[in-house]
Chains A and B, each alone.
Chain A
Amino acid sequence: MDTISLHAKHIVKHFGAVVALSDGTLRVDSGEVVALVGANGSGKSTLSKIITGVLSRDEGEIIYNGDSVQFTNPTAAQKAGITAVYQELSLVPILTVAENIWLAHEPVNNMGRIDDQEAQARTGELLKLFEGTFQDTLHPDAPVETLPPDEKQIVEILKAISRDPDILILDEATASLDGRQVDCLFRLIEEWKTQNMGLVFVSHRMDEIFKIADRAVVLRNGDTVGNVDIEETTEPEIVSLMVGHERGLGRIQRKESIQPESERIALNVEGLQTDVLHNVSFSVNEGELVGISGLRGQGQDELLHTLFGNRHFTGKIELFGETITPDHPRTVINKDMALIPGDRATQGVLMTRPILENLHLPNWRKYNFPLNIGKAIRDAKRITDKLNVVMKSLEAPVNSLSGGNAQKVVIGKWLLRDPNILLLDDPTKGVDVGTKAEFYNLLEELCAEGTTVLFYSSDDQELIDLAFRVFVMHDGTITEELSGDDVNKANLVSASMGAGVNNGAQK
């Protein structure tokens, strides 16, 4: 491989009115590993997808080996020598490992027939690269759908390598790999560097970045804010680049008041275990508002859904001292627990049905048989007034409402049941600022009245403003519990990346 260089300059990308990237700049040369770092929503995924041709850019330039290039689809980028390994795999489950690795560039004999033996042999050689790190489920003939996630990831990596790329982009490629496999991958990366490959390593894991990267490019809110040599920087410095200055939106002043008055433990969880979670234990007092933080997909919604009866689990869950076994949401709904789910359109409301129906969906039993519609309408009106839902009428379908108002319907539905425990899965996602403020007031009111709230948010500022205690989750377990003044942007970001935090008690 000759020396190559890829330079993405000042890339801009909009999705409708949302600016995902306002200044994405990244340069990688042969023989180096550049880490691409940034918080949720910083634009790093967008930037890497633009470089590999999955997304198109609005402005900016990409210079590849001195030429200005434009990749209209992933295949074009691949042909040019730029290949990516993403976290969402691009494997066809029904095909075998060998078939997947060589898909679209199969070895072909001189009669045009696919040379399966050649493919098998080459696959075997590729698998040797990771020798010793996988079980015998992984062999060239195994259908990909029979493999566990770590082996699928290995296949994905081998698939990229089989194309002999000049530039390899690893986008969260280590997420499913265990320690041994990661070490193996890093050894391979060192070797690829000597063969003049240039690598971009997108990751949230500080320790890995400091282990393998030569340089780090930091994105924040769509801007490139840093380009540092790993040897000359520290973890805290990178975190501070990622976090920058606090950006308030005139929010509620942090009060110490969302602290529980009551000593009663509303929710106690011990040793919770599911397919995703392991060893989750915590307790929440009555009237407390506890936040859950961490990068998306680390088990936060799994935790909430498990509490709500939507998952198989082992471990103990106690509600006000009573052990319960939520095997269906029905069980916990009857115990006055409520869940505001993360995906409004598919889990929260029936989009095409009227607001009235949506509000009373879990409640019709209270209205007797035959249904006392008059009372139902009065109750519905009461709650929509209280929540200030802007709507044409109760008969209007929910999809006629704005995002914020639709979310209010979801909340209203559960408030009508007067829940003791309220679980919230990123409830202000896609909700306008005005509604958010109303929502925060509502939460404070509820807590004052004794409702216990467990609240996952991908918006760190929100948690800082509302929660006195925050659990940070990583890899299916609670890795950090912050409280009081320790709940700040820097600590939240650090903890979500597995780096140390600044607090009184040493971790």
Chain B
Amino acid sequence: MMKGNFDFYNWWKKFNRKNTYVLALVVFIITTAIYFILQPAIMEEGVLSRITTSNFRTWLPIILLSVGQTVVMLGGGLDLSSGAILSLGNVILAISIRNTDEAGFNLLIVLAVIMMGLVAGALNGFFVAFLDLQPIIATFATSFLYSGLALLILPQPGGKIPRPYTDFYRTTKFLGIPLAIYIIIAVLLIWVFFRNRKYGRFLFAVGGDEKAAYTTGVPVKGIITSTYILSGLLASLGAISYTLLTGSGSARSGEDMTLTALTAAVIGGTSFSGGSGSLFGTVLGAVILGTIQNILSLARLDSWYRTLVNAVIIVIALAGPGFIKLFAREK
């Protein structure tokens, strides 16, 4: 018994190391299959297209947050403030965007939100890379800063985004493929571009062993700061997409999203200890989570069950790698 299991385990470990998203891909196929099966009308004309559009435009904010979280995790860190940055961006947009004939002004607001994301990320990066604070603590603290600001700006949910903008986001399609998917593809392409360049290599090195990377001449502080800035940037983009999706603002909009984004990254194969993972896996992870949510609502489960299932998924996803390690050690 021992020999057979042993070989498989080692082979799996090796394979998984190079292609960390494989497990997520398998789970993705399974959950999507279940989802389709539960949708009796899916094969009818136009239904698949409608559902895909509706799903992906809803999932885009989380996907963007998850991607940001993955970059930070690859570098060995953690960003607990990305949801709060999204909330902040959301409320700024909700109260500032004017109607469509002031497009120039609206563009400025959007740029300002992006700027906010970059600055928030830089602040996070400063605390972690230069003040040497633990990422969990630093970003937990800054999350209160950003959500506090959001509450200050918009104490009660409100604001209104002009119809044309939200319609544009929600319905635009090129070649039958919704806008949201193009954005996701663009993000993945940018990642593929950088993964094989020095930046990507440095990122994995820093996440793998910060001290070894430093001794070898990798600009560790710069790399770490850049990951938080990227996370902040993606959170602000998430804010924009979320605002266009919902058409209004709420200071608590991003509250639950941080943990979901983290779970998506972990499901996608990104390791907490850094240096291992892929954005492709993360996107799959986010889609898996979204699909499961849909499956639950199709099964007409009580919302209590939904929360339970979510929690169970999070526990399994986070504890899973630990369990695997435990079994490995027993061998």
Contact = CB atoms under 8 A, between A and B. Distances in A.
* Physical interaction between A and B: yes
Contacts of B215: 54, 74, 90
Q: What is the interface residue range for chain A against chain B?
A: 20 to 34
A103 B201 contact: yes
**Chain B binding surface SS class:** helix
Nearest to A54: B215
Q: What is the interface residue range for chain B against chain A?
A: 20 to 34
Contacts of B201: 99, 103, 106, 114
Contact of A95 (B208, B211, B217): B208
Interface string A81-110: 000000001111111000100011110100
Contacts of B50: none
Interface in A326-366: none
Contacts of A103: 201, 205, 213, 216-218
A92 B212 contact: yes
B198 interface: yes
Interface string B239-278: 0000000000000000000000000000000000001100
A93 B208 contact: yes
A114 B204 contact: no
A285 interface: no
Contact of A89 (B198, B202, B212): B212
Nearest to B204: A95
Given A94-B276, A95-B204, A113-B196, A78 B209 contact: no
B173 interface: no
Given A92-B275, A114-B198, A143-B17, A78 B217 contact: yes
B197 interface: yes
A94 B208 contact: yes
A89 B212 CA distance: 7
A108 B207 CA distance: 22
Nearest to A143: B17
Most chain A CB within a 10 A radius of its CB, from B214, B217, B275: B217
Contact of B204 (A89, A90, A94, A159): A94
Interface string A40-84: 000000000000001000000000000000000011001000000
A94 B76 CA distance: 12
A434 interface: no
Contacts of B198: 106, 108, 114
A94 B212 contact: no
A89 to B, nearest CB: 7
A90 B275 CA distance: 15
A250 interface: no
Nearest to B17: A143
A370 interface: no
B216 A114 contact: no
Contacts of A99: 201, 205
Given A106-B198, A113-B197, A114-B201, A91 B217 contact: no
Interface in A286-337: none
Interface string B268-305: 00000001100000000000000000000000000000
Most chain B CB within a 10 A radius of its CB, from A74, A89, A93, A103: A103
A74 B202 CA distance: 17
A179 interface: no
A16 interface: no
Interface in B12-58: 17
Most chain B CB within a 10 A radius of its CB, from A91, A94, A112, A159: A94
Contact of B217 (A54, A74, A92, A113): A74
Contacts of A112: 197
Contact of A114 (B196, B214, B276): B196
Contacts of A54: 215
Contacts of A90: 211-212, 215-216
A104 B207 CA distance: 15
A92 B209 contact: yes
A133 to B, nearest CB: 24
Contacts of A159: 216
Interface string B107-128: 0000000000000000000000
A91 B212 contact: yes
A159 B215 CA distance: 12
A104 B216 contact: yes
A159 B217 CA distance: 12
Contacts of A106: 198, 201
A116 to B, nearest CB: 8
Contacts of B214: 74
Nearest to B215: A90
B161 to A, nearest CB: 40
Given A99-B201, A113-B196, A104 B208 contact: no
Most chain A CB within a 10 A radius of its CB, from B197, B204, B208, B216: B216
Contacts of B204: 92, 94-95
23 contacts: A74-B214, A74-B215, A75-B217, A78-B217, A90-B215, A90-B216, A92-B204, A92-B208, A92-B275, A94-B17, A94-B208, A94-B276, A95-B204, A95-B205, A99-B205, A103-B201, A104-B216, A105-B217, A106-B201, A113-B197, A114-B198, A114-B201, A159-B216
Given A94-B207, A99-B205, 14 more contacts: A92-B205, A92-B208, A92-B213, A93-B208, A95-B205, A95-B208, A95-B275, A99-B201, A103-B205, A103-B216, A103-B217, A104-B202, A104-B216, A114-B197
Interface of A: 54, 74-75, 78, 89-95, 99, 103-106, 108, 112-114, 116, 143, 159
In order of increasing CB-CB distance, the 8 nearest A-B pairs are: A92-B208, A75-B217, A90-B215, A94-B208, A104-B217, A94-B275, A92-B209, A90-B212
